[in-house]
Amino acid sequence: MQLDRRAGNPSSTSPAHNAVRRRRLQVRFQTQKTLDCGEPTGRAMDIGARAGAHCVNLSSVVTTKTDLKSLLREDLSARLAKWGEPVYRADQILRWVYQQQAESFDQMTNLSAELRQRLSEQFELNSVRALKTRNATDTTEKFLFQLHDHALIETVLIPATPGLTTSSDRHTVCVSTQVGCAYGCKFCASGLEGVKRNLTAAEIVDQVVHTQKLSGERVSNIVIMGMGEPLANYDNLIRALRIINAPWALGIGARKITVSTVGLVLRIKQLADEPMQIRLAVSLHGATDEVRDRIMPVNKKYPLKELLAACDYYVNTRKRMMTFEYILIDGVNDSLEQAHKLGAIANRLHAKVNLIPYNPVEGLPWKRPERSRCKMFQHTLKSHGITATLRIEKGTDINAACGQLRLRHEAEARA
């Protein structure tokens, strides 16, 4: 009974209804299980990942309402046409959702009371709820959002630093795509407790909408580098990016959107074939299998040779530069030998390298190298003709590395 509470249908207990409900739960349970197998393509994932379906733990509350922010314009128009509404109605509603950032249907004052009531019965308008925000001294802002099943995710707003870039009014949002992460990179806080579930498209889109609303800033760039492996939640990711990109929604250009992956080879190729010109970043963190194996278990499934072949495919199909992210971890991957090997790889692929001094995670043994060592690594890459940036850490005082704020919040809640 509790399961249907949000659907507003507490009296429906017929055997047929129960059978449907059991089936729905089975589908969701299968969906949970497929999360661990790398690049799920099965039907269970397709069903669980479709627009509007909250894919949640069995113990949590399930909604049968449709998430409005999972819908493309044509989906909403089709729903409204069935209700006999005129074609312009969808645009009116979308303006309220994305331009006015309305948080309730009651705010949509140019719609009739009857329509607002019907919309609120059938659609969920908000998919995330802000629990906490934390400001770092460098004005990076981190948001902890709660989802309908009480799961927690993180989103970070990173303003460009005046003086470092030409456009100081640029605001980048770092978005999460899963609750937790299945890939267990040894240095990362996000994967410490495994993966709970994929985010729906609405939950991905709503991070951007709420970040804009809470900060009062217009977001210009998106990096999919928050919690989770975006390419393991492929269908929801692409749907969300289509909405983020659409002029009727957030209108953020595809070239201003970067997807970062641990290195899922088949999905990198699929991304290369997408009509949207999304940018690709690959978390390399090691220039040989030996180093990568030590810190990234995914390398056993997709060793460097296969990963770099997928990068080749991306670069040749897209005719665009890609980026390698490379965390510098003291004594693990920061030798000059690794720098030379990385230089050769990046050179062949005409890739940029983004060096990130490791952000220590409580309870993990890894350390950040001395600044001079990071500089030396960068210098070596540059000697190969590579564009290599050494990230000035932003937000370290607010636990801005992946998954850290969420872990801290959960630890505080347990204490």
Residue with tokens 């331009």: 99
Backbone φ and ψ for 318, nearest 5 degrees, come out as -85, -25
In angstroms, give the least distance from the CB of 187 to ligand SAH: 6
Do the Cβ atoms of 115 and 137 come closer than 8 Å? no
Contact flag: residue 390 with ligand SAH (CB under 6 A): no
Task: Say if strands 221-224 and 257-261 run parallel, antiparallel, or are unpaired.
Answer: parallel
Interacting residue with ligand SAH among 44, 188, 204, 345 (CB under 6 A): 188
Q: At its nearest, how many Å lie between ligand SAH and the CB of residue 383?
A: 24
Alpha helices in 67-165 (DSSP H): 73-82, 88-94, 113-122
Judged by CB under 6 A, which stretch of 132-140, 160-168, 192-200, 352-360 contacts ligand SAH?
A: 352-360
Q: Does 325 bind ligand SAH (CB under 6 A)?
A: yes
Cα→Cα distances 305→94, 126, 232, Å:
45, 43, 20
Helix 371-382 with 336-349: angle, nearest 10 deg: 40
Q: Burial letters for 219-230: b for 16+ Cβ neighbours within 10 Å, e otherwise?
A: bebbbbbbbbbb
CB nearer ligand SAH, residue 76 or residue 224? 224
Distances (CA, A) of 27 to 4, 31, 46, 54, 177: 16, 6, 10, 11, 20
Would you count residue 356 as binding ligand SAH (CB under 6 A)?
yes
Verify binding: residue 200, ligand SAH, rule CB under 6 A: no
37 is catalytic: no
Which member of 97, 238, 291, 327 binds ligand SAH (CB under 6 A)? 327
Binder among 32, 233, 283, 399 for ligand SAH (CB under 6 A): 283
Identify the DSSP state of 7.
Answer: G
Q: How far is the CB of 326 from ligand SAH (least distance, A)?
A: 8
Q: Which is nearer to ligand SAH, 283 or 380 (CB)?
A: 283
327 touches 402 (CB < 8 A)? no
Q: State the minimum distance, in angstroms, from the CB of residue 376 to ligand SAH.
A: 19
CB closer to ligand SAH out of 51 and 282: 282
Which residue among 111, 361, 381, 386 contacts ligand SAH (CB under 6 A)? 361
| Least Cβ distance, residue 325 to ligand SAH (angstroms) | 4
CB of 398 to ligand SAH, least distance (A): 13
Catalytic residue (one of 85, 141, 154, 229): 154
Ranges assigned E (strand) in 95-242: 123-124, 129-135, 141-146, 152-159, 171-174, 178-180, 195-198, 221-224
Out of 96, 105, 324, 358, the residue judged to bind ligand SAH by CB under 6 A: 358
- Whether 236 and 49 have beta carbons less than 8 Å apart is answered as yes
Nearer to ligand SAH, 62 or 346 (CB): 346
For the bound state, the minimum distance from the C-beta of residue 204 to ligand SAH, rounded and expressed in Å, comes to 13
- Concerning whether 402 is annotated as a catalytic residue, the answer is yes
In angstroms, rounded to a whole number, what is the distance separating the alpha carbons of residues 343 and 351?
9
What are the beta bridge partners of residue 124?
A: 67
Contact call for residues 288 and 304 (beta carbons, < 8 A) = yes
| Contact call for residue 405 and ligand SAH (CB under 6 A) | no
Which residues, numbered 145-184, are part of the site for ligand SAH (CB under 6 A)? none
Contact 24, 52 (CB under 8 A): no
Q: Under rule CB under 6 A, which residues in 202-231 are in contact with ligand SAH?
A: 225, 229
End-to-end CA separation in angstroms for the chain: 32
**Which range in 7-15, 148-156, 254-262, 370-378 contacts ligand SAH by CB under 6 A?**
254-262
**Residue 262 lies near ligand SAH (rule: CB under 6 A):** yes
* 85 is an interface residue for ligand SAH by CB under 6 A: no
Which residues of this chain interact with ligand SAH, rule CB under 6 A? 185, 187-188, 225, 229, 260-262, 283, 325, 327, 356, 358-359, 361, 401-402
Active site residues: 154, 402
